[in-house]
Structure 1
Amino acid sequence: MSYKAKFTLLATLFSLVLFFSLQAQRDTLDYLQECRLRAGLPNFFARLKQGDSVRIGYLGGSITAANGGWRDQSMQWFKQQYPAAKISQIIAGVGGTGSDLGVFRLQRDVLQFRPHLVFVEFAVNDGSGRTSHQAMEGIVRQIWKNDPYTDICFVYTIAGNMLDTLRQGRLFGSMLAMEHIAQHYSIPSIQLGLDVLKLMEEGKLVFNGKPEDYPGKLVFTGDNVHPNTHTGHRLYTEAIARSMKIMMNKSGAMQHALKDPYTIDNWEEAQMIPVNELLMSGNWTDLAKTGDTVARTYRVKYPVLLKSNEPGASLTIRFNGRLVGMSDIIGPDCGQYAVKIDNGPEKLFPRFDRYATYVRANAFFLPMLESKEHQIVFKVSDKKLDKMEILKKGDGVIGDLKKYEQNACYAGWILLLGTLSKN
């Protein structure tokens, strides 16, 4: 065997050993454990014990947004445990969204309020965890670039589609991806659903159903995802309380190290840009400057909220980067965007779905691009959707048909991995 062949063989064997070694390290995380302490929450508990002002950020989806749920319940628990501290919360839960949007809105929704602790909850909405590594690492790095003394805790909620995996004692895909990031940065994590699984096995809890159909048993949820306040959310809060009692013994000033990235393509440069900074063509109205009811409802989320019902009206962004998204509105009066990337063909992005019997904040992303200069045009499409056919797949009350007549597009923020071009 030649020297070159031997060298190639040894290099290949080394690569394989390294791969399986790293894989084995990762696999050690793939089991259920309620609390992984790691570096704990030392700065947070130091402030609590000193009776200081403490701000807790709750970044997540609808399970975090729910009034009276684990967010409010955990706040009450902290206040009971530390009555001398002045504890307040930063509410940053947005229904139906995952870490891929959370990393973009983090600065505006959480960091500007200077939190001392940030709970991050996206396990359910991140599904298989396809972009969880990049987005969750971006969240961590943004927080510690903003303030290295801010503590972080990942919390993992559960849904019906996770049960088969969890019953095997293994983490769901999104949870495992998040554990890789947590382990890399020594961030504590809490699995909120272990007691749920235990009570199910004991026949004391029904995961999904109507409480009146199961007298004498706890019913966790009525839709397979969102916990009932006094059962599911209570179990989540009890898991947090048990974990906090473990973590509270570790306190004191600690500067978190922003070590080398776990993923070189993480999303720490994520930013939101107001859409009025884009090039506009056609008739667009900034509803935030009117008495429009949608703009009033979302005035905090969207200080600028453009709307156009004119086919062909467009918004153009020129940038140097690799990913663009739009934070907007889905509702009864919405149609679809026709989006053109560089010199490619137009692709349709419907802003109406089976749940669009009411107005809600939403977002969508374009495909990942090569990191370089691009131009993207968002145009109000003249192609109308069959809204009634789409709504047949949902279970909402359709109501007055007049509210579906328009085929408009809304725009609030551009979500950007990159920088705007100057011309």
Structure 2
Amino acid sequence: MRALLAAAWIGSATAACAHAADRPAVGQDLVGVFQRAASGQPLVVVNIGGSITQAGGGWAWDRLAQAFPASAVVGYNAGLSGTGSDLAVFRLERDVCSHQPDLVFIEFAVNDRFGGDEAVIRDLESIVRRLKLLPRPPAIVLLQSAFQGGIALHRHEAVARHYGLLAIDLHDAVARELAVTGAPWSNLIADDTHPTTGGHQFYAQVIAERLAPFIEQATARAGSPLAPEPPLPGPLSAQPLLLDGQLATFPLQPGWIRRGVASDRWDAEWYQAAISSTGPGSAFTIPVRGTAIGIFYAQQPGSGPMLVSIDGGQPQLVDTEGTIFGQVGFGELAAGTHLLSVAIPPTSGGTTSAPVTLGYLLSAGETGASTALVAQGPYTPAAMARLRFDPLPAERWMVIGPFGGEQPTPQAPTADLATVFLSEPEVDLAVSHPGRDGRAQAWRPATGTGRVVDFAAMSGIDDRGVHYAYAEVEVDQAQRLLAAWTLDYFGTLWVNGARIVTYDCIHGGPGTLHLHALEFQPGVNRILVKLHSGSRGNNFTFALERPAGRVEIRAPPFAPR
């Protein structure tokens, strides 16, 4: 499954579809490729997708070798667990195009479920169109794997229709098979989406059946002239596609060494040319031309955060601790030359316990980009390296709740997030409010220690409802401070009565760090958090950039002002 990404790339509007008469006939690109194979020409097949592809063993390779015994059928598996079409835009050249494919299977429907419609359509169309613009365009088949509960297939289906591609709905095939046999879901799918051994065999069978008519057509036409490639329809997406995405290794920089991840990791081969920080203060800036720029990094147990900025703008604070990988990106940039800066800040103890490891520089949009450097902001690597963040520990918050919670929280917030349960954003700590089941709720000091404000531990509720938390920070001068917080899972942040942000959609994992600039005034500044529980979590953390001058994180109960 996907590691949720730390940033959305580029959204797009979707143009009206081409008229049906302008679209190629579905799957006809397969006929020409199979004609060549039937005549004895080699057949190079590449499967690109996520973990399902990675474990699938090619599915159709054996069937194609049987169908075309005179052809040298070669398969390449470019599956990479946890990835979707948003990363494939950048790895297409290295992992697919470099093999000079005749046939490409694309399997991203499950992992693309986290993306918005416009972004998914744009990313998938960028992949398809780039492949179709190659000197010898390959045939393309979209595979839509099964997912328990179902997924939105309309984005992939729209691209398939627009380009006349064969799309194989494996979810529907699984559902039909189980309905006929009466077997349980686990007979074919081990969890919510990963096939069992029998499930992979079933996928291979379904794909072979869907390819069979095109193989028959091609075999009957073996030796006949190939039909010319039809002209490509106009783009489906209204915004510019990413047709030149690429991966590049990072140059070695002072404070960094050439080191990957542990050799026994399943993805170790991806980090053979990675660079790793040697300690706090490690920082660098590199120029990159394009309209979309990002970093693919390794997550490792104990790894610390990194600050990433484009053109000196407000940095993103990225937590690299974990066991898989992550991606941080900046999209919709001006078509020029940009400066990408990375800095490793010290933790509260002054050191990081494990290095931050950067795998690849991601870029797209170089075509047409100017060599002129765009305007730069104040966040240089040195400035970022000086940033310090101090947590507001649990014991410094007042809390109230639970409210609402008539139903569990699904993958989107319930009406509880928008419901006003108290006089938000104003706070009167002396006033009680009717809470869940009509019981009066009063403000009280949060319990627990450490940086996590854990409503689940305080209330026993981890899958529904709303809680509020309130804190006060006193400073002696007006200043803009960065706040870094995590929330599990939906919520709103106010400072001094002004709403800073509302998270009402998927925003990464529960541990994803979000950075916001806050305007603090001299004296007491009021911070209010409204948290709407996720499906299995109900907590947040909040850290504040160390301010200039005197600061006091006030201890509750707060004195009247």
Q: TM-score, normalised by structure 1?
A: 0.72
Partner of 1:383: 347
Alignment pair present for 1:414 and 2:386 = no
The answer (yes or no) to whether the contact 1:339–1:348 under 8 Å persists in 2 is: yes
* 2:252 maps to 1:269: no
Of 316, 321, 327, the match for 2:285: 316
- What CA distance in whole angstroms lies between the structure 2 residues aligned with 1:140 and 1:181? 8
Cα distance, 1:49 vs. partner? 1.1
Rounded to whole Å, the distance in 1 between the matches of 2:177 and 2:321 is: 39
1:291-318, Cα deviation, whole Å (9 max, x unpaired): x744997675345210113112123233
Structure 2 counterpart of 1:158, which letter?
A
* Partner Cα distance (1:293, 1:343) in 2: 33
**Pairing 1:141-156 to 2, within 5 Å after superposition:** 141-156=129-144
Q: What pairs up with 1:1-400 in 2 under 5 angstroms? A: 22=16, 37-66=26-55, 69=56, 71-130=57-116, 131-162=119-150, 172-173=151-152, 175-202=153-180, 204-208=182-186, 219-230=187-198, 232-251=199-218, 252-263=226-237, 264-276=239-251, 280=253, 282-287=254-259, 293-294=262-263, 300-353=269-322, 356=323, 360=324, 362-373=325-336, 374-383=338-347
1:395 maps to which residue?
none
Residue 258 of structure 1: CA displacement?
Answer: 3.3
Q: For residue 240 of structure 1, report the CA deviation from its aligned partner.
A: 0.6
After TM superposition, the structure 1 stretch with the greater mean CA deviation from structure 2, 252-261 or 241-250, is: 252-261
Q: Take 1:384 and 1:99, find their aligned partners in 2: how far apart are those partners? A: 37
**Alpha-carbon deviations, 1:390-419, whole Å to 9, x = none?**
xxxxxxxxxxxxxxx823211121111233
Match of residue 169 from structure 1: none
Code of the aligned partner of 1:241: A
The residue that corresponds to 2:556 in the other structure is none
Distance 1:25 1:255 in 2: 19
After superposition, give the CA deviation of every residue in 1:123-166 in whole Å (9 maximum; x if it has no partner): 0010154222111111112212223431111111121242xxxx
- Structure 2 letter corresponding to 1:143: L
Q: 1:235 and 1:187 mapped to 2: Cα distance?
A: 22
Identity %: 26
Q: Describe the shift of the 1:257–1:365 C-alpha distance in structure 2 as closer, same or farther (beyond 3 A).
A: farther
TM-fit CA distance, 1:55: 0.8
Alpha-carbon distance change, 85 to 246 in structure 1, aligned in 2, over 3 angstroms: same
| Unaligned ranges ≥5, structure 2 | 1-12, 219-225, 374-561
Query: Secondary structure at 2:185's aligned position in 1?
Result: strand
8 Å CA contact 1:43–1:149 kept in 2: the answer is no
Moved more, 294-303 or 367-376: 294-303
Q: Is the 8 A contact 2:59 2:207 kept in 1?
A: no
SS at structure 1 position matched to 2:45 = strand
Unpaired runs of 5+ residues, structure 1, are: 1-18, 27-35, 163-171, 209-218, 386-404
Q: Provide closer, same or farther for how the CA distance between residues 253 and 295 of structure 1 changes in structure 2, counting only shifts above 3 A.
A: farther
Contact 1:43 1:116 in 2 (8 A): no
How far apart are 1:81 and its partner, in Å? 2.5
Cα distance in 1 for residues equivalent to 2:64 and 2:348: 51
Say whether the 8 Å CA contact 1:101–1:363 is kept in structure 2: no
Change (3 A) 1:294 1:371: farther
Deviations 1:188-219 (A, max 9, x none): 211122231113334622224xxxxxxxxxx1
8 Å Cα contact 1:274/1:304 also seen in 2: yes
Is contact 2:47-2:58 (8 Å) kept?
no
Aligned residues: 340
**What is the one-letter code of the residue matched to 1:123?**
A
What letter corresponds to residue 51 of structure 2 in structure 1?
Answer: S
Which protein has the bigger helix share?
Answer: 1
Conserved? CA contact 1:40–1:247, under 8 Å:
no
1:82-127 Cα offsets, whole Å, 9 max, x none, are 2222111011000000001111101101111111100011000101
Match of 2:214, as an amino acid?
M
By relative contact order (CA 8 Å, sep 6+), the higher-ranking structure is: 1
Question: Which one is further off, 221-230 or 111-120?
Answer: 221-230
2:146–2:172 contact (8 Å) kept in structure 1: no
- For 2:555, the equivalent position in structure 1 comes to none
- Measure, in 2, the Cα distance between the counterparts of 1:38 and 1:74: 16
Match of 2:396 in 1: none
Q: Distance in 1 between matches of 2:99 and 2:71?
A: 18
Cα distance in 2 between the residues matched to 1:24 and 1:41: 21
Between Structure 1 and Structure 2, the one with more strand by share is 2
**Compared CA separation, residues 297 and 244, structure 1 to 2 (3 A):** closer
Partner of 2:484: none
Kindly provide the CA deviation profile for residues 226-245 of structure 1, in whole angstroms up to 9, marking residues without a partner as x.
10012x11221121111111
Please give the alpha-carbon distance, in whole angstroms, between the structure 2 residues aligned to 1:108 and 1:406.
Answer: 33
Opposite residue 365 of structure 1, the aligned amino acid is V
Amino acid in the other structure paired with 1:272: L
Confirm or deny: 8 A CA contact 2:146 2:174 kept in the other structure. Answer: no
CA 1:147–1:334 in structure 2 vs 1: closer, same or farther (change >3 Å)? Answer: farther
Is the partner of 1:366 in helix, strand or coil?
A: strand
Distance 1:128 1:145, change over 3 A: same
Larger CA Rg, structure 1 vs 2: 2
